[in-house]
């Protein structure tokens, strides 16, 4: 039984993670950390009143509850503070909060080294397994169709734009495509062509009613190829979250993304 605490437990994703942990036979939800609803029982919030886990606003609650793994779904402004605390206290951590930069990933690696790798970290911009496959298929397509743009669509409460998944998809495409392609940049209205990350345009849409959607559009002579993934419900992320929580204790150091956990064959 893996003892787990959830940081950001009272948010939409946090509550769903708590419910998934409580429903799983190989996890024990032992701590819930959040700045809101302090003292309330998270079991009541997820429809499991027999589960007695009061919400605390102190990370020390993870140690008091003997949590081995922490799962963080908080906010880009505070997530690194949580990661630093977990590493310094030898708690493995799975990070689902988006917006972590390359510089912050490098900091995590250094922190793990400074603490003699007593804990491990998995950072995933997207826990939907279909989104991981979308990125992989896009990397393969980029070898043959270097002209590409990305449209990502999310709910209107998402804190960052572009999405971490879109940025990670750009990175995969850049690794695989044989040549660069630069689309036209002329705009009669500033921002109409979206933002540019490493030479690839990303267009971010934020609307109520959306969850998480990514569309990678490749263009070639007389043809287009569209690779799209849609999360229509946040439950799509739960299998990936639980997979990461199971794996983090045995994957030394920092792991970025879920693809290393899927045991996929290398790209041809």
Q: Catalytic site residue 75? A: no
> Same structural domain for residues 9 and 110?
yes
Q: pLDDT at residue 268 above 80?
A: no
Q: pLDDT at residue 205 above 80?
A: yes
Catalytic residue among 92, 154, 203, 213: 154
> Same structural domain for residues 67 and 137?
no
Q: pLDDT at residue 159 above 90?
A: no
Convert the pLDDT of each residue in 212-253 to its tens digit.
999 999 999 999 999 999 999 999 999 999 999 999 999 999
> Same structural domain for residues 44 and 13?
yes
Q: Catalytic site residue 110? A: no
Asked whether residue 266 is domain-assigned, the answer is no
> Same structural domain for residues 78 and 96?
yes
Q: What is the extent of the structural domain holding 89?
A: 2-123+235-261
Convert the pLDDT of each residue in 50-68 to its tens digit.
999 999 999 999 999 999 9
Catalytic residue among 37, 75, 89, 158: 158
Asked whether residue 200 is domain-assigned, the answer is yes
| pLDDT at site 203 | 97
> Three-class SS string for the chain?
CEEEEEECCCCHHHHHHHHHHHHCCCEEEEEEECCCCCCCEHHHHCCCCCCCCEEECCCHHHHHCCCCEEEECCCCCCHHHHHHHHHHCCCEEEECCCCCCHHHHHHHHHHHHHCCCCCCEEECCCCCHHHHHHHHHHHHHHCCCCEEEEEEEECCCCCCCCCHHHHHHHHHHHHHCCCCCCCCCCCCCCCCCCEEECCEEEEEEECCCCCEEEEEEEEECCEEEEEEEEECCHHHHHHHHHHHHHHHHHCCCEEECCHHHCCCCCCC
| pLDDT at site 182 | 83
């Amino acid at each position: 039984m893996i003892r787990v605490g959830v940081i950001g437990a009272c948010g939409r994703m946090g509550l769903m993670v708590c419910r998934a942990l409580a429903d799983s036979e190989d996890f024990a939800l032992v701590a819930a950390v959040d700045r809101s609803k302090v003292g309330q029982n998270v079991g009541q919030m997820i429809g499991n009143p027999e589960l007695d886990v009061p919400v605390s606003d102190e990370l020390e609650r993870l140690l008091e509850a003997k949590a081995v793994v922490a799962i963080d779904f908080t906010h880009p402004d505070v997530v690194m503070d949580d990661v630093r605390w977990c590493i310094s206290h030898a708690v493995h951590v799975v990070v689902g909060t988006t917006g972590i930069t390359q510089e912050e990933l490098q900091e995590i690696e250094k922190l793990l080294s400074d603490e003699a790798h007593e804990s491990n970290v998995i950072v995933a911009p997207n826990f939907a397994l279909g989104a991981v496959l979308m990125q992989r298929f896009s990397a393969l397509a980029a070898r043959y169709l270097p002209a590409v743009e990305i449209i990502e669509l999310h709910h209107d409460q998402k804190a960052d734009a572009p999405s971490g998944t879109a940025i990670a998809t750009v990175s995969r495409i850049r690794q695989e495509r044989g040549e660069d392609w630069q689309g036209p940049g002329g705009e009669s209205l500033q921002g109409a062509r979206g933002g540019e990350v490493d030479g690839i345009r990303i267009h971010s849409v934020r609307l109520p009613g959306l969850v998480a959607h990514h569309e990678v559009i490749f263009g070639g002579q007389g043809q287009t190829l569209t690779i799209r993934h849609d999360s229509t419900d946040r439950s799509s992320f739960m299998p990936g979250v639980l997979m990461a929580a199971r794996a983090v204790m045995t994957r030394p150091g920092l792991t970025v993304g879920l693809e290393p956990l899927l045991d996929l064959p290398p790209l041809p």
